[in-house]
Amino acid sequence: MLTTTVVRTLADLLLHVDRMSAVSALDSALFQGLVTPAELDSVEGLIRGRRNAVVSRTWLGLADGRAESPLETRGRLVCVDARVAPDSLQAEIRRADGTVVARADMLWSKSRLIGEADGAEFHDRPDALYRDRERQNELVALGYTVIRFTWQDTLDPERLPAIIRRFL
């Protein structure tokens, strides 16, 4: 059976899906180690001259392998579009003694604001809810504000940014 490489598959995909789906696929491939950032550079050459290549090329620069889910990618892109992009992704939050309390999906460091993507797959189980609650209490005790968002929150391009702006 003939197959294509991951890089070729990503190149073809970019030309046929919307921006959110394309960047989610790029992020996922990077996060899983299926491609390197250097390998993604070759995608531009593979799509050159093809239909939708001009717009698709701009999406390559949005790829970030720190996003651990399509929901995190969507949240980040909605924030970037609304000009409230986080300072960092997967930021380690530490106690004064250096102990890591959490890794924040998105962090706005000056405002000590953390954005957490709460996907149903990992956050709807009772054990996960209790862990999230304990972790959030620790973060609040350290002076952080934690906002949580779901897939639904990313469907309206103003919903998540409006929440973030209230805390910035």
Same domain, 89 and 162: yes
Structural domain boundaries, residue 47:
6-60
pLDDT range class, residue 107, cuts 50, 70, 90: very high
Same domain, 132 and 75: yes
Give the pTM. 0.88
Averaged pLDDT, 129-156? 91
The tens digit of pLDDT for each residue in 9-64 reads: 999 999 999 999 999 999 999 999 999 999 999 999 999 999 999 999 999 999 99
Q: What is the tally of structural domains in the chain? A: 2
Same domain, 41 and 83: no
Same domain, 75 and 96: yes
Assigned domain for 65 exists: no
Closest C-alpha among 52, 46, 38 to residue 9? 46
Same domain, 11 and 85: no
